[in-house]
Amino acid sequence: MSVLRGVYVSKLRVRERVVKKERERMSEFYNSLAEKMQSGSCVVMTVLEGESAGKKLLVTEPVEQYEGHAVFCERAGSLPRLVICGGGHVSIPMIRMGKMLEFQVTVLEDRPKFADNARVAGADVVICDSFEHGLERISGGEDTYFIIVTRGHRYDEVCLGAIVEKPNAYIGMMGSRRRVAIVKEELFEQGHEREKLDEVYTPIGLKIGAETPEEIAVSVMAEIIQVKHEKAEGCGYSKELLEALCDEDCKKQKKVLATIISRKGSAPRGVGTKMLILEDGTLIDTIGGGCAESDVITKALLMMREEKVRFQICMVDMTREAAEEEGMVCGGRIEVMLERV
């Protein structure tokens, strides 16, 4: 009996060392991810099958396989940035909607009174300077969305001329077809490439018959959402979730990270959406709520109790009947990746 007990204790200690080493590895990974996200964006790759299932790597571009096995890739980075050139009456609802949609909003305006209005509306950064000098302070990037809504033709030309040479996810410019055509032609004659000028979204916004500043803001932000989702490769890591993964006190708790890796039908949240479940019942973020989320939480808590299971993929079927019982308009099916972290 004592021999058997000794073997059991020995195996338990080995298991504890393995688990500790795995936690340290994951901690190092998320600290590295946080550093990468501060300086830009990167791609997180997770192996979904085989002996390496659950392995995570930071890569420069999405890949389809890792050593012959299926993977899930998602782009992670800082909040997308919305740069609005012009602080007039149309800009104010754009600022508010940009904040609602979790953009970091920057406004360029050369008139102090209108710059103050942008601050009151909630812009994160307001640059009160000439458009030419203000744009010199903005580098652009693959997650930067530019909106040009200045008060005149000459300001449009200055802004567009500077912006088309910057890396960007979107450039939209307000103005009549004639005004926009004149600006583009003048910039072409100055040496800017025709292809870059033709990529500018004009007329700006989706065609919904918008007339008021608020309606125009809705049409413009809807167009940006459309472009953003077409480019999307995953919803990434929220600031709160990443902080929890790197927090020293949080590291002491068992926890499971849930990520939607596929979706069929009208499930409430998209691919890449995440939720962190802690052993004390704390939830950070959501994958949509309702019975689907409840099922995932239950599976995550079981994983924390069963030390052997550190990675699994589960299918959650949100049938019409279940959705109606929950009072939800969504149905569909989601595939969720669960990882001990």
Sheet holding 69-76, edge to edge: 56-59, 42-47, 69-76, 65-66
What integer is the mean pLDDT of 103-124? Answer: 96
Q: Could you tell me the sign of the dihedral formed by the alpha carbons of 60, 62, 68, 71, in that order?
A: positive
Query: What does 187-221 look like in DSSP terms, one character per residue?
Result: HHHTT--HHHHHTSBSS-S-SS---SHHHHHHHHH
Structural domains in the chain, sorted by start: 81-231 (3.40.50.720), 236-341 (no CATH)
Check whether 117 has a pLDDT greater than 90.
yes
Q: How far apart are CA 188 and CA 92, in angstroms?
A: 31
Q: Could you tell me the sign of the dihedral formed by the alpha carbons of 23, 29, 35, 37, in that order?
A: negative
Name the pTM for this structure: 0.63
Q: Read off the pLDDT of residues 197-225 as tens digits, 9 standing for 90 and up.
A: 999 999 899 999 999 999 999 999 999 99
Highest average pLDDT, of 92-101, 227-236, 249-258, 282-291, comes from: 92-101
Burial class (CB in 10 A: 0-12, 13-18, 19+), 168: buried
Helices and strands in the chain, H and E counts: 12, 14
Q: Read off the pLDDT of residues 164-204 as tens digits, 9 standing for 90 and up.
A: 999 999 999 998 888 889 999 999 999 999 999 999 999 89
Give the total residue count for the chain: 341
Q: What is the pLDDT of residue 27?
A: 79
Q: Between 102 and 173, where is the model more confident?
A: 173
